[in-house]
Chain A
């Protein structure tokens, strides 16, 4: 008896559902919904008003002298005036290499030597900044501003990339020890916040080293960034490797390639190509993460801005400074994205391009 009633109930419900579902197509025609309209209009209005206010502030109220008067500091920190040509030359070299990466033809001679150029740009930069040999030495204490941000990004990226590849290969390896070590390394680093790694590098490492043995703090920062980023790069590349069909590996075996040849000639190039978007993310993230060094006392772009804001002449001008910083970081990140996109396009197989 009970069952019957419940069945009856359910059949009733079913009917209801059927009825409702039948009704849905009827409401397809958009009805006037005043609430939605009001919401949309007010959201649009709020957006417009804030946009107008923002530009109004930028054009008429902001006092940009905190930016315009200190361009040199933002760019080069307290780098001695006499040797300013050195960081300028370095930045020019970076710009030229970036432009070549974007615009050169993939079959040209230049394009093939670009990888070497990007690798060389870091030691060249360090040589230009630090001096030595024929150049007058400049202590790293005077490096600052955007060139320090660039140096941190490029050099830690350059160190992290090969380590990342090795870790990715290690994780794929069939040798248990190498496999375990890579896995543990990646898991530990990914479980740590970047700020901890940086803190460790900046504050604790010096305490463990002997008294008069001092590692330059910029090197310490670069190593910390590289250690951190390598773990993420490894995972990105591993993702790329897993996307490669196993037939590739089998074909390599058939061709008589040994393990390392298979990795270097067949798997890695394909994996890297697939991983480019993810690696671009890492590069952009790395550039932005260098701003964390500001709270650890390096005067990179953000650090130098905070020092400038303490200048009594510029107290309270932080909105101007942060808008300006946002612009700079955005520009730099867009450049990275552009370079990555053009490389990605050039790496497409030719048969797709030759339509």
Chain B
């Protein structure tokens, strides 16, 4: 019953957000952030690998590092960022009311969130391509969705996850019994207690959950993807200067990876660009030749500041989700297009 209530309230907030969006053109939030000297970033704080609380009381994860990169690009210092933990239902409200500048909280882009008739936020480029997947026990000998005929599947209720599961299985004409739980913790427990043959959630969450099992290698995540969940940061709609700055700082992270510029060699690259006038595109990218930054309202060397503080996209990914990290998720779609992934930066010209 509470869920119906929650969704009702969320629906109401979506409706009212239309009214709240009466906004003057005067003054971009970018100026406000610079004046304040601090970026306020909304994160989840509860998603392993993406944003979580370290034992030192500081937030860590990919979503958090994106915020740090933005702070470095806009303010020149990745420490000038404040994190505000947000739950899923309040995230857009917080953006609309201006409690936060940027939302970096595992948010899937979709039409209704983007459009002015919906939540009316502006999305930055996708920073993580997620997708709903299924996890099964290796011993069960299940290789595809068809092997799950007539079996129980653990799922978090009231989420799009449940909907996607239903849609996919109905489409493929596979009958199954959903075992519904309130949240992912309970789904995991149900799965471990053999209440169901498979559990379903976003791929990244499955990988994170599996890491906590006593025998992670006994469980496999099936290849089939039930839904696409491209996750991207967002800012308030109708603020072109801020959304442009965010967009191009994130593209700079991709571009740097494409050009193999990381936090370990950035100084060398800057030196090289300074001494060699023929490297025009590198000089432009690193702000040795001015032009790019000022168009965005950022310092010309914003790319250098970003890469110095957080590294390029690969550095961030490897740190939090790479093979040696605690929540290893194969890069797959999240690789640069040069390696067969989907991340590509338009030219920074």
Contact segment of A26-34, A225-233, A298-306:
A298-306
A-chain residues with CB within 8 Å of residue B209 when the two chains form the complex: 315-316
* SS of B interface (majority): mixed
Contact A311 B48 (CB under 8 A): yes
Contact segment of A120-128, A167-175, A207-215:
A207-215
B149 interfacial by beta-carbon distance below 8 Å: no
Total number of B residues with any Cβ neighbor in A under 8 Å: 49
Contact B185 A204 (CB under 8 A): no
CB distance from B70 to the nearest CB of A (A): 17
Contact A312 B326 (CB under 8 A): yes
Contact B57 A72 (CB under 8 A): yes
Per-position binary interface string of chain A over residues 277-300, scored 1 when its CB falls under 8 Å from any chain B CB and 0 otherwise: 000000000000000000111010
B residues 208-228 with Cβ under 8 Å of A? 208-209, 211-213
The 5 listed contacts between A and B (C-beta, < 8 Å) are A199-B5, A203-B93, A207-B96, A209-B97, A299-B45
CB distance from A244 to the nearest CB of B (A): 39
Given A207-B97, A214-B99: A69 and B55 within 8 A (CB)? yes
CB distance from A302 to the nearest CB of B (A): 12
Contact A207 B93 (CB under 8 A): yes
User: In the complex, A69→B53 CA distance in Å?
Assistant: 13
Contact segment of B8-16, B140-148, B301-309:
B8-16
Contact A207 B53 (CB under 8 A): no
Total number of A residues with any Cβ neighbor in B under 8 Å: 43
Q: Residue of A at shortest CB range from B44?
A: A310
Per-position binary interface string of chain B over residues 144-186, scored 1 when its CB falls under 8 Å from any chain A CB and 0 otherwise: 0000000000000000000000000000000000000000010
Contact segment of B71-79, B81-89, B260-268:
B81-89
CB distance from A163 to the nearest CB of B (A): 25
Contact A214 B57 (CB under 8 A): no
B295 interfacial by beta-carbon distance below 8 Å: no
Given A312-B49, A313-B326: A203 and B55 within 8 A (CB)? no
Checking B19, B49, B55, B212 against A73 with a beta-carbon cut-off of 8 angstroms, the contacting residue is B55
Per-position binary interface string of chain A over residues 65-84, scored 1 when its CB falls under 8 Å from any chain B CB and 0 otherwise: 00001101100011100000
Contact A315 B208 (CB under 8 A): yes
B6 interfacial by beta-carbon distance below 8 Å: yes
B290 interfacial by beta-carbon distance below 8 Å: no
Contact B82 A211 (CB under 8 A): no
User: In the complex, A208→B98 CA distance in Å?
Assistant: 13
A-chain residues with CB within 8 Å of residue B212 when the two chains form the complex: 315-317
Q: Residue of A at shortest CB range from B210?
A: A315
Contact A303 B55 (CB under 8 A): no
Q: Residue of A at shortest CB range from B22?
A: A211
B-chain residues with CB within 8 Å of residue A315 when the two chains form the complex: 48, 208-209, 211-212, 326
B-chain residues with CB within 8 Å of residue A307 when the two chains form the complex: 45-46, 52-53, 85
CB distance from B54 to the nearest CB of A (A): 6
A115 interfacial by beta-carbon distance below 8 Å: no
Given A70-B55, A313-B326: A141 and B211 within 8 A (CB)? no
Per-position binary interface string of chain A over residues 131-167, scored 1 when its CB falls under 8 Å from any chain B CB and 0 otherwise: 0000000010100000000000000000000000000
User: In the complex, A312→B12 CA distance in Å?
Assistant: 35
B325 interfacial by beta-carbon distance below 8 Å: yes
B-chain residues with CB within 8 Å of residue A295 when the two chains form the complex: 87
Contact A303 B5 (CB under 8 A): no
User: In the complex, A6→B19 CA distance in Å?
Assistant: 77
A193 interfacial by beta-carbon distance below 8 Å: yes
Given A207-B96, A310-B46, A315-B211: A199 and B53 within 8 A (CB)? no
B279 interfacial by beta-carbon distance below 8 Å: no
Given A78-B58, A202-B90: A304 and B53 within 8 A (CB)? yes
B-chain residues with CB within 8 Å of residue A303 when the two chains form the complex: 85
Supplied contacts A72-B57, A311-B52, 6 more A-B pairs, CB within 8 Å:
A203-B90, A207-B96, A304-B53, A310-B44, A310-B52, A316-B212
A-chain residues with CB within 8 Å of residue B44 when the two chains form the complex: 310
A196 interfacial by beta-carbon distance below 8 Å: yes
B residues 25-60 with Cβ under 8 Å of A? 44-49, 51-55, 57-58, 60
User: In the complex, A69→B185 CA distance in Å?
Assistant: 22
Given A311-B48, A312-B208, A316-B212: A207 and B17 within 8 A (CB)? yes
A-chain residues with CB within 8 Å of residue B13 when the two chains form the complex: 203-204, 207
Per-position binary interface string of chain A over residues 166-207, scored 1 when its CB falls under 8 Å from any chain B CB and 0 otherwise: 000000000000000000000000000101100110111011
